[in-house]
Amino acid sequence: MRRSVFTLFAIGLSFALLMPDPVYAQDDEIIVTGTRLSRASSFEEQGGAPGVTVVKRGDFLLLGVTIESDARDRTERLGEISNTIEAFLKAAEADDTIELSIIESGTTVRRLTQSNYIQGVSFGGRPDTSVARMRVKTAIPDKVENSAALAGKLSRFVDEIEEKGRISISTNGETSVSVVDPYQYRDEVVAKIVGEINEITEALGPEYVAIIKGLDRQVYWDRKGDIDLAFSMPYTYEIIPNTLHSIDQPIVPDY
């Protein structure tokens, strides 16, 4: 008795449960925090895992900074925060390895200026306090193994800013990674997926072909370690006998 063989490789369970990522402009810089619930992590929670990932070094390391004033008068508080922002800007101008940023819409990194910092100002956790939030960042070199030295550099930069009046400056010690134009890696992810599937079909022989779904979807990314990012796509594929005309066609044993 000779029986046809049908092999199914399913990477993941249900893409309907994955919410689409926002679409960014080509030159956008996107922040990836350690706690970001990405499409990748949602995918894995459903029992699957990205079968192929492309690991790339992040472009920048960012450290969150909080500037708080508890001066009684609101105008005075905002004035102190503005003066502190100006001190940060002047310090960054003197150090070409440091940039200052704010985060828009939760993920997009924008350069901090005296005119846009107000977007990051809110009431503090105590009465009569105002808080401004920003990020200090530095480029991640190609030849670096972890973020410790870079994070220390950012912390020292923040520590050198003088606290005047009722101002307090703090960091939470947690760093984030950002990437410019993450979609530039989509073609590389697709090529790696197709290459891996080709290796499998070649190993099985010419009697089998692959049906791939999901290669038209967006690439997604997640943090991998201190300074790297993993790019992947939610795809599935099936290996079927080349005698089938459709993946929905039932396999009839050949006796």
Domain assignments of the chain as residue spans, ordered by start: 60-180
Give me the pLDDT at residue 126, please.
Answer: 83
Give me the pLDDT at residue 125, please.
Answer: 81
CA dist 46 to 59, 112, 170, 253, Å? 30, 39, 38, 33
> Right CATH number for 60-180 from 1.20.120.80, 3.30.70.600, 2.60.40.10, 3.30.479.30?
3.30.70.600
Say which residues have a Cβ less than 8 Å from residue 241's Cβ, sequence separation at least 6: 4, 5, 6, 207, 208, 209, 251
Cα torsion 120, 124, 127, 129 to 10°: value is -60
Residues 141-177: b if buried by 16+ CB within 10 A, e if exposed: eeeeeebeebbebbbebbeebeeeebbebebeeebbb
Confirm if 116 and 153 have CB atoms less than 8 A apart: no
- Residue 122 to residue 222: CA distance in whole angstroms: 29
Give me the pLDDT at residue 22, please.
Answer: 56
Give me the pLDDT at residue 23, please.
Answer: 55
Tokens at 239, concatenated: 């290996």
Give me the pLDDT at residue 189, please.
Answer: 95
Give me the pLDDT at residue 146, please.
Answer: 79
Give me the pLDDT at residue 42, please.
Answer: 56
pLDDT tens for the chain, residues 1 to 255: 222 232 333 323 233 333 345 555 568 999 997 544 455 555 555 445 568 899 999 999 999 999 999 999 999 999 999 999 999 999 999 999 999 999 999 999 999 999 998 888 888 888 889 999 999 999 999 888 778 999 999 999 999 999 999 999 999 888 999 999 999 999 999 999 999 999 999 999 999 999 888 888 889 899 998 999 999 988 888 898 988 765 555 544 444
Residue with tokens 């450290």: 63
Give backbone dihedrals phi and psi of 122, rounded to 5 degrees, phi first. Answer: -150, 175
Give me the pLDDT at residue 214, please.
Answer: 87
Beta bridge partners of 170: 66
CA dist 81 to 58, 101, 132, 158, 161, Å? 31, 15, 7, 15, 12
